[in-house]
């Protein structure tokens, strides 16, 4: 039932197809260990959240899923009295209390948080500390249901003088950049002294801006059906049921099933020196090859134009880290026991299988050659790299655009490429039908780095228009999945949160001061971590980092057996500077 005072709006195209789950970040701060009255802290957080929602009221609203007649569409609902859902938890002792905005009484937590703040800091804020039911939310987005909060914030005080500020924002409203902007606005208000005024930096906040239909139509060569458009988007596939949108696709039934696979994660640090070495590998590869020839191979398989990098190519840090992580993790997964497919079952998903031709940016879905439990040298592996298109497409017609804008170029490489990169020898010779093939580790890695950078550079108006048209033609967005099976060693995904929050300054009561500069205000978090109710696998995530000269941190989640193999590979350990369990 919608009240007269409620404003309900249909979300735009790219928000409709965003994953219907919460993005979870934890900001880790030292707080006065002697502090025992947290009323001022809670009041300060609530006020900051309220002020931050003034330019962006949708962050205090709710997400609703329409009735069956609306074919899986979601809406944002706002009222004048909306507030961000906020809860405080005292996690310092067994039976500790929590109190939420809407509760008149506190309720006990079943167990205290298992780490003291000094332990977290001494161990580098390990990713395993932020995985578990403590970081889940009790909401279920159901048809014609009451809706779920767009934003939820938890403040958790832990032993040893620690504050974990947990921010949950629903992906249907915002991507990482929008989340960062909202948190930065909130943090800016927490820095203000009483009665202090002044403007904060403005961020794009309009979630109602859409890519014009006429501009999409002008870039599509001829009217196409949903199936035809889907064939032009290799990173997406049709799910067998309304479990999406943008949910991973289980191409096969596996034994053991995903829920029964032991999983784990590690954070691997890359110093600037290690990154410079990777960039040198890529630059040496570029000098030794005619770029036009390589681009030509990629272009013949791609619906998007691959941009030739003229002159001196500057490989991105992201492409370097994504390539080396993809190769070593894929090799480790293939070297461990591969899960068995259930005999006699066809693919659970629709079209868009694995098979592709040469190493390239992928478009061909129809030839699924992934029929055995091995990893034959000619088999293709696939990498998805989420990237924002707002700086690359429709730059002059979407002023204020603040909706989801993440596309996912798909890159392919053969199994043997990863074997060469992850091997202990600089050169590897393998037998072929024509004799033997000698391949160089640095040559293979440099080529993969180039392919990733080229795939991201290929994002343009037509690339985005094709996907926009496909989304709009879908009979129900919940049937759109991403063409990746987390249980298949041939699939991997690498994302980046590098610029999402580690440098934001907060001014919260009880925070330990940062630095000794006179008149300095606020402090940034000691670490920003991803929170998860449970482990995922087959993925890498560049965590938020501070400044240009700081180390990069890559969170890698794998099967336990594959992680053991990765950690035992001396070639991988030479690539990284430090490992955080």
* pLDDT tens digits, 561-579: 999 999 999 999 999 999 9
Q: What distance in Å separates the CA atoms of residue 531 and residue 517, rounded to the nearest whole number?
A: 32
Q: What distance in Å separates the CA atoms of residue 174 and residue 168, rounded to the nearest whole number?
A: 11
Confidence of residue 302 (pLDDT cuts 50, 70, 90): very low
Q: What is the pTM of this model?
A: 0.89
Residues 36 and 173 in one domain: yes
Strands 62-65, 552-559: pairing kind:
unpaired
Residues 231 and 186 in one domain: no
The label of the residue with tokens 């199994």 reads 415
Please report the pLDDT score of residue 407 as a whole number.
Answer: 96
Residues 177 and 233 in one domain: no
Each residue's pLDDT tens digit, 318-328: 999 999 999 99
Residues 329 and 431 in one domain: yes
Look at residues 531, 526, 532, 530 and name the one whose alpha carbon lies nearest to residue 502: 526
Does 111 fall in a domain?
Answer: yes
Confidence of residue 62 (pLDDT cuts 50, 70, 90): very high
Whether residue 424 is predicted with pLDDT greater than 80 in this model: the reply is: no
List the structure tokens of 121: 């800091």
List the structure tokens of 297: 């191979």
Whether residue 296 is predicted with pLDDT greater than 60 in this model: the reply is: no
What is the percentage of the chain residues whose pLDDT exceeds 70? 80
> Reduced to 3 DSSP states, what percent helix, strand and coil does the chain have, rounded to the nearest 5?
30, 25, 50
Residues 152 and 290 in one domain: no
Residues 411 and 459 in one domain: yes
Whether residue 137 is predicted with pLDDT greater than 90 in this model: the reply is: yes
Residues 364 and 281 in one domain: yes
Whether residue 163 is predicted with pLDDT greater than 70 in this model: the reply is: yes
Phi-psi region of 455 (alpha: psi -120 to 50; beta: other; left: phi over 0): alpha
CB atoms near residue 476 (< 10 Å): 16
Residues 6+ apart with CB under 8 A from 391: none
CA-based angle 248:554:506, to the nearest 5?
A: 100
Please report the pLDDT score of residue 487 as a whole number.
Answer: 93
Residues 262 and 363 in one domain: yes
Look at residues 535, 489, 485, 494 and name the one whose alpha carbon lies nearest to residue 239: 485
Whether residue 367 is predicted with pLDDT greater than 50 in this model: the reply is: no
Of the given ranges (341-350, 415-424, 486-495), which has the lowest mean pLDDT? 341-350
Q: Is 45 helix (H, G, I), strand (E, B) or coil?
A: helix
Average pLDDT over residues 312-319: 90
The CATH number covering residue 135 comes to 3.30.559.10
Residues 146 and 265 in one domain: no
CB atoms near residue 517 (< 10 Å): 8
Please report the pLDDT score of residue 224 as a whole number.
Answer: 79
Q: What distance in Å separates the CA atoms of residue 503 and residue 549, rounded to the nearest whole number?
A: 13
What is the percentage of the chain residues whose pLDDT exceeds 90? 67
Q: What distance in Å separates the CA atoms of residue 424 and residue 484, rounded to the nearest whole number?
A: 29
Average pLDDT over residues 300-316: 53
Whether residue 541 is predicted with pLDDT greater than 90 in this model: the reply is: yes
Whether residue 308 is predicted with pLDDT greater than 50 in this model: the reply is: no
Residues 181 and 277 in one domain: no
Domains: count for the chain: 2
Please report the pLDDT score of residue 512 as a whole number.
Answer: 83
Which secondary-structure segment (H or E) carries 180? Answer: helix 176-190
Does 215 fall in a domain?
Answer: no
Please report the pLDDT score of residue 438 as a whole number.
Answer: 60
Q: What distance in Å separates the CA atoms of residue 571 and residue 580, rounded to the nearest whole number?
A: 18
Q: What distance in Å separates the CA atoms of residue 62 and residue 371, rounded to the nearest whole number?
A: 44
* Residues 321, 269 contacting (CB under 8 angstroms): no
Does 529 fall in a domain?
Answer: no
Residues 174 and 265 in one domain: no
Higher pLDDT, 454 or 518: 454
Each residue's pLDDT tens digit, 491-501: 999 999 999 99
Does 538 fall in a domain?
Answer: no
Q: What distance in Å separates the CA atoms of residue 355 and residue 327, rounded to the nearest whole number?
A: 18
Residue 89 belongs to domain spanning: 9-190
Mean pLDDT (the chain) is: 85
Q: Is 508 helix (H, G, I), strand (E, B) or coil?
A: coil
Of the given ranges (189-203, 249-263, 346-360, 472-486), which has the lowest mean pLDDT? 346-360
Higher pLDDT, 109 or 466: 466
Please report the pLDDT score of residue 98 as a whole number.
Answer: 57
Confidence of residue 5 (pLDDT cuts 50, 70, 90): confident
Where is the domain boundary, 190, 213, 234? 190
Residues 436 and 575 in one domain: yes
Average pLDDT over residues 164-170: 98
């Amino acid at each position: 039932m919608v009240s007269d005072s409620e404003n309900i709006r249909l979300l735009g195209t790219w928000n409709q197809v965003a994953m219907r789950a919460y993005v979870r970040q934890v900001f880790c701060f030292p707080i006065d260990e002697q502090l025992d009255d947290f009323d001022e802290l809670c009041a300060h957080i609530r006020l900051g959240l309220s002020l931050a929602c003034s330019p962006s009221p949708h962050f205090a609203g709710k997400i609703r899923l329409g009735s069956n007649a609306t074919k899986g569409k979601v809406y944002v609902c706002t009222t004048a009295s909306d507030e961000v859902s906020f809860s405080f938890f005292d996690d310092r002792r067994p039976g500790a209390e929590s109190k939420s905005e809407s509760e008149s009484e506190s309720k006990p937590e079943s167990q205290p948080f298992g780490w003291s703040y000094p332990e977290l800091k001494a161990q580098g804020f390990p990713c395993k500390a932020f995985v578990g039911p403590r970081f889940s939310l009790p909401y279920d987005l159901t048809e014609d249901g009451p809706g779920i909060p767009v934003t939820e914030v938890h403040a958790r005080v832990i032993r040893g003088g620690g504050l974990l500020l947990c921010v949950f924002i629903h992906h249907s409203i915002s991507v990482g950049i929008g989340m960062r902007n909202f948190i930065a606005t909130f943090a800016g208000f927490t820095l203000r002294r009483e009665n202090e005024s002044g403007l904060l930096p403005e961020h794009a906040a309009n979630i109602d801006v859409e890519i014009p239909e006429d501009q999409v139509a002008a870039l599509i060569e001829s009217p196409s059906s949903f199936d035809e458009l889907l064939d032009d988007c290799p990173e997406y596939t049709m799910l067998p049921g309304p479990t999406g949108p943008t949910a991973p696709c289980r191409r096969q039934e596996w034994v053991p099933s995903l829920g029964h696979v032991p999983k784990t994660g590690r954070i691997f640090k890359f110093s600037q020196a290690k990154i410079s070495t990777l960039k040198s590998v890529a630059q040496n590869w570029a000098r030794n090859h005619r770029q036009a020839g390589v681009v030509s191979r990629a272009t013949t398989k791609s619906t998007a134009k691959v941009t030739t990098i003229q002159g001196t190519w500057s490989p991105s840090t992201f492409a370097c880290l994504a390539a080396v992580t993809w190769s070593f993790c894929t090799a480790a997964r293939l070297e461990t026991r591969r899960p068995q497919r259930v005999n006699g079952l066809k693919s659970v998903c629709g079209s868009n299988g694995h098979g592709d031709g040469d190493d390239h940016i992928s478009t061909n879905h129809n030839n699924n050659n992934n029929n055995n439990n091995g990893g034959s040298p000619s088999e293709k592996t696939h990498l998805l790299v989420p990237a924002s298109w707002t700086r690359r497409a429709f730059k002059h017609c979407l002023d204020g655009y603040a909706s989801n804008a993440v596309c996912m170029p798909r890159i392919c490489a053969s199994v043997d490429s990863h074997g060469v990169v992850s091997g202990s020898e600089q050169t590897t010779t393998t037998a072929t039908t024509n004799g033997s093939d000698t391949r160089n580790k640095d040559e293979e890695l440099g080529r993969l780095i180039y392919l990733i950078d080229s795939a991201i550079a290929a994002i343009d108006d037509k690339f985005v228009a094709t996907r926009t048209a496909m989304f709009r033609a879908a009979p129900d967005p919940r049937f759109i999945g991403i063409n990746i099976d987390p249980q298949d060693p041939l699939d991997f995904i690498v994302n980046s949160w590098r610029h999402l929050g580690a440098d934001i300054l907060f001014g919260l009561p009880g925070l330990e001061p940062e630095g000794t500069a006179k008149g300095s205000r606020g402090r940034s978090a000691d670490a920003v971590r991803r929170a998860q109710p449970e482990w995922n696998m087959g993925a890498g995530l560049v965590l938020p980092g501070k400044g240009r000269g700081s180390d990069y941190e890559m969170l890698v989640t794998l099967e336990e057996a594959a992680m053991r193999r990765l950690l035992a590979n001396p070639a991988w350990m030479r690539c990284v500077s430090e490992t955080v369990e």
